[in-house]
């Protein structure tokens, strides 16, 4: 993409366009149980990203031919609101959304114990209300919280984060300008308990060493995200405990 003249993504003090250091995440806020209808839900603000995830299920499948007699299935829809980006996005799935939905399913599925729910579906809906780069990792992070909130049995949470290359340096968690004018983006999702990588994508142009460095850095970022996920879940149950205590 045509880069504005003179734009430096890392300044002489090693600071990025939004003032962050190389290995610093954007501010992240998470809240669990934000929707009434869904079986589980979560809201994540990650920099300027605003993402809502909801889980329905395990529930009956329509159409029926998708049923599996030995396990439940996971369905994922990643969708962007028309107003979520600078130029209005035409409503409905485009090719990018279809691919992100598919890899997100692949990122979440290994964490779920779907064998326990034959003939059912777990539906995950990710709505991007505002996008500022890194929506797929924020979406996976939110979806994983919503799954836990819904009480779907899981081996682990799934935490995600991206690393990338800007102005020749590998950095954590690109924002929109860095994604547009940078050299590479490497989103990664992990199940942190056993360091299992469940999402890995990359575009850009990297040496073997840079690529491995970026993957390692993204894993570190995802581990920090994991801590925030645990706190968000804990907060929800503390809140419930307080409410119960208050009613007595």
Partner 1 sequence: MSDMEVMAGIMRDRILALLRDGKRLDGRGLEDYRDLEIKVNVIEKAEGSAWVKLGNTQVLVGIKVDMGEPFPDLPDRGVITTNVELVPLASPSFEPGPPDENAIELARVVDRGIRESEAVELEKLVIVPGKLVRVVFIDVHVLDHDGNLLDATGIGAIAALLSTKMPKVRYNEETDEVEVLDEYEPLPVRRIPIPVTMAKIGNTMVVDPSLDEELVMDGRITITADENGMISAAQKGEGGSFKLEEVIYAVDTSLKKGAELREKVLKAVKSA
Does position 4 interact with partner 1 (CB under 8 A)? The reply is no
Residue 61: CB partners within 8 Å, gap ≥ 6? Answer: 67, 73, 119, 120, 121
Structure tokens at 212: 């491995």
DSSP single-letter state for residue 131? -
Site membership for partner 1, residue 115 (CB under 8 A): no
DSSP state at residue 169 = E
- Give me the residue label for tokens 């004018």: 181
Which value, in Å, is the radius of gyration of the alpha carbons in the chain?
19
99 is a contact residue toward partner 1 (CB under 8 A): yes
Cis? peptide before 63, omega within 30° of 0 = yes
Nearer to partner 1, 3 or 239 (CB): 3
Question: What is the nearest approach in angstroms of partner 1 to the Cβ of residue 15?
Answer: 26
CB of 161 to partner 1, least distance (A): 15
For the chain, the residue count is 248
* 3-class state of residue 45 by DSSP: strand
The contact mask relative to partner 1 for 151-180 (x = CB under 8 A, - = no) is ------------------------------
Give the shortest CB-215-to-partner 1 separation in angstroms. 6
Residue 129 sits in the site that holds partner 1 (CB under 8 A):
no
Binding residues for partner 1, rule: CB under 8 A, are 1-2, 68-69, 95-96, 98-99, 101-103, 105-106, 109-110, 184, 186, 191, 195-208, 211-212, 215-216, 219
């Amino acid at each position: 993409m045509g880069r504005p003249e003179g734009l430096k993504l890392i300044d002489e003090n090693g600071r990025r366009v939004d003032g962050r250091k190389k290995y610093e995440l954007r501010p992240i806020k998470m809240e669990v149980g934000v929707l009434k209808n869904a079986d589980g839900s979560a809201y994540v603000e990650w920099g300027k990203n605003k993402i809502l995830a909801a889980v329905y299920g395990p529930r009956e499948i329509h159409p029926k031919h998708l049923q599996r007699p030995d396990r439940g299935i996971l369905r994922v829809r990643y969708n962007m609101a028309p107003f979520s980006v600078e130029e209005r996005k035409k409503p409905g799935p485009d090719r990018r959304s279809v691919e992100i939905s598919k890899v997100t399913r692949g990122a979440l599925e290994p964490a779920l114990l779907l064998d326990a729910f034959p003939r059912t579906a777990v539906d995950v809906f990710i709505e991007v209300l505002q996008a500022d780069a890194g929506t797929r990792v924020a979406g996976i992070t939110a979806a994983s919280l919503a799954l836990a909130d819904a009480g779907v049995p899981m081996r682990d949470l799934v935490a995600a984060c991206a690393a990338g290359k800007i102005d020749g340096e590998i950095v954590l968690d690109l924002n929109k300008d860095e994604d547009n004018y940078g050299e590479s983006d490497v989103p990664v999702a992990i199940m942190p308990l056993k360091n299992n990588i469940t999402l890995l994508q990359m575009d850009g142009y990297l040496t073997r060493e840079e690529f491995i460095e970026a993957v390692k850095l993204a894993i570190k970022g995802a581990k920090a995200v994991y801590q925030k996920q645990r706190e968000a879940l804990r907060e929800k149950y503390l809140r419930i405990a307080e409410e119960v205590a208050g009613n007595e």
